[in-house]
Amino acid sequence: MKILIVEDEYALLKTVEDFLLAEKYVVEKATDYYSAMEKIMLYEYDCILLDISLPGGSGLQILSEMKKENKTGNIIIISAKNSLEDKVQGLDWGADDYLTKPFHLPELHARIKAVMRRKQQNGKPTATLGNSLVDFAQRQLHVNGQLLKLNRKEFDMLAFFVINKDRLITKDALAEHVWGDSFDMADSFDFVYSQVKNLRKKLNDGSSDMAIENVYGVGYKLTI
C-alpha cells in the first residue's frame, strides 16, 4: 500500500516516514503545495497524510483542487490547527479524517487502516471473485476456503488487480502503484513481469478462478 506524506516540518516528516516504512508501506513525500499537487495529479495513493499549513499554499486548497478533478486518496488531515471551522471545511471538501498534532504514531496507523478499510471495495473489507475470497483487512487470500500464502508485494499486486478487475493495467501503472514513483521504470518491465509471473503461478497452483491475462506489449488484466 502506498502513502503520500505532505508535511513541511522535517522532523515530523522523517518520524512518520520511518514509522510507516517499518510497517512495510511504500512512502512518498512532498514538502510544499506545488510538489504535493504534482504528485497527487500524476499518481494514485492508498492514503494521503495532508498538513494544512504548507509553503506556497494550503492543504485545504489541495482538497479543493482534488475535488474539482474528482481525485480521491483516503485523506487524513494532520495539522496543529484544531479549529472546528478547519475540521468541517476539510471533511466537507473530501478529507476522511482529521488528526491534530501532536499525535501518537500507533493512533495515526490505526486511522490509516480505518480509512483504507472503509474505501476498499466501496467500504467492504472483502471481495469474492469466483472461488476466491480476498480479505483486505487481514491481507489474506482464501481459495475454496483454504489460505493461499502470498508475500506482501504479491498481495499488494493482487489487491490492485482486484480493485481494477477487468480493466487493463499497464506495467508502468502497476510498478508505480506497488513500488512507488522512485522505481526505475527503465528497468521495470522484466522485474514486473517476473513478479506477476510468480503471482499468476500461485493463483494457478492454488486452483483460483482468478486469472491474470497478458495484454501483449501493454500490461495485464485480472479476469474470472
pLDDT at 142 over 90: yes
| Of 30-34, 121-125, 191-195, minimum mean pLDDT range | 121-125
Please state, rounded to an integer, the average pLDDT across all residues of the chain.
84
Stretch 96-102: mean pLDDT, rounded?
85
**Which amino acid belongs to residue 50?**
L
Buried-exposed string 186-206: b where 16+ CB fall within 10 A, e elsewhere: eebeeebeebbeebbebbeeb
pLDDT at 28 over 60: yes
Buried-exposed string 43-75: b where 16+ CB fall within 10 A, e elsewhere: bebbbbbbbbebeeebbbbbbebbeeeebebbb
Stretch 59-65: mean pLDDT, rounded?
90
The answer to whether the beta carbons of residues 33 and 57 sit under 8 Å apart is: yes
CA-based nearest residue to 39, from 5, 80, 86: 5
**Cell representation of residue 46:** 492508498
Q: Encode pLDDT of 161-180 as tens digits.
A: 888 888 888 887 787 777 77
Whole-prediction pTM value?
0.62
| Of 75-84, 93-102, 113-122, 199-208, minimum mean pLDDT range | 113-122
pLDDT value, residue 2:
86
pLDDT at 19 over 60: yes
3-state secondary structure of 44: coil
125-223 shares the fold of 2-120: no
Q: How far is Cα 134 from Cα 132, in angstroms, rounded to an integer? A: 7
- Quickly name the fold that domain 125-223 has: Arc Repressor Mutant, subunit A (1.10.10)
DSSP 129-194: ETTEEEETTTTEEEETTEEE---HHHHHHHHHHHHTTTS-EEHHHHHHHHH-TTS-GGGHHHHHHH
DSSP state of 93: T
Stretch 65-91: mean pLDDT, rounded?
78
pLDDT value, residue 82:
66
Domain ranges of the chain: 2-120, 125-223
pLDDT value, residue 84:
65
Q: Give the CATH superfamily of 2-120.
A: Response regulator (3.40.50.2300)
Residue 6 CB-half CA count within 13 A: 33
At residue 172's C-alpha, the angle toward residues 223 and 21, to 5°, is: 100
Q: Encode pLDDT of 183-222 as tens digits.
A: 665 556 677 888 888 999 999 998 999 999 988 878 899 9
DSSP 113-124: HHHHHHHGGGG-
pLDDT at 93 over 70: yes
Q: Encode pLDDT of 106-119 as tens digits.
A: 889 888 887 876 66
